[in-house]
Homo-oligomer: A and B are copies of this chain.
Amino acid sequence: MKTKKEYQTYCLDLDGTVYRGTEAVEEAAGFVQRLLQKGIEPFFVTNNASMTQQQLKDKMAGFGITAKKERIMSSAIAAAKYIKRWYPGRTVYMIGSDGLDQALRQEGVERVQEKADIVLMGIDRNITYDKLATACLEIRNGAVFLSTNQDLAFPSEKGFLPGNGAFTTLVSSSADVDPVYIGKPEIHMLEAIQHEYGFEKSQMVMIGDNYDTDIQAGIHFGIDTIHVNTGVSRMETVLEKKQVPSFVIENLGFWEV
């Protein structure tokens, strides 16, 4: 395990790190405050594709955290940027919610209802058979298959509900094509941040509670990682992994900036 070090670019996961569902993670606001006092504007990196940057900013504000909209990298934003960068001018058939809809508008990506170059899936609580059927048909007709994230389930007050990864699995199994996932543990969100701002990887760190998404994304991208024990993965379990994070802390209060 390395010793503590200073970074220029802090990438913070949201759920489990900054908040837990509708509750704040107590130590997060102070941590962000300390970063801002040092002149460091952090990035917020979330697999959430249903909320817009504004909605996420407002949610954090409710927990006393000041976030700049353009520093919020959701899997929806990253997907739209990915399409603009790698498939410029191509049309998209989208399944998703406000967050994905607005991200595509923001990047000027054209949406179509048929003959799409790309099928892009994000969570959609108003999903229908026809939407899923269209996705399958378009992919079978050769459309590129992208999905915001592979989360199979997410917690709610009722229990674990099916996530976008489960719906993506439906389309993938039926159309017999594997998707490209944008969200963590894939590196696309971190890569988008680095690409846009020209950061050095050695100056970047990914902080999160989930070993399988947050920490894996950081490790795959080749940057330092900090695991916080405030969410999904327990510290003991994380320490038993073959590839441990650069740092393991109880919560963000333990990190001196």
Q: Which residues of A are interface residues toward B (Cβ below 8 A)?
A: 124-129, 132-133, 136-137, 140-141, 152-153, 158-163, 165-167, 169-171, 173-176
- Indicate whether A173 sits within 8 Å of B152 (C-beta atoms), given known contacts A127-B128, A129-B126: yes
Oligomeric state, in copies:
2
Measured CB to CB, the closest approach of chain B to A162, in angstroms, equals 4
**Complex contact B171–A166 (CB within 8 A):** yes
Contact A136 B124, beta carbon cutoff 8 Å: no
Contact of A160 among B136, B153, B160, B163 (CB under 8 A): B136
Give bound CA distance, A158 to B173, whole Å.
Answer: 18
Q: Give chain B nearest CB distance to A49 CB in angstroms.
A: 15
Contact of A137 among B159, B165, B166, B174 (CB under 8 A): B159
Given A127-B128, A128-B127, A129-B125, A165 and B159 contact (CB-CB distance below 8 Å): no
Chain B hits for A126, CB < 8 A:
129
Task: Tell whether A174 pairs with B159 under 8 Å between CB atoms, given A129-B124, A153-B136.
Answer: no
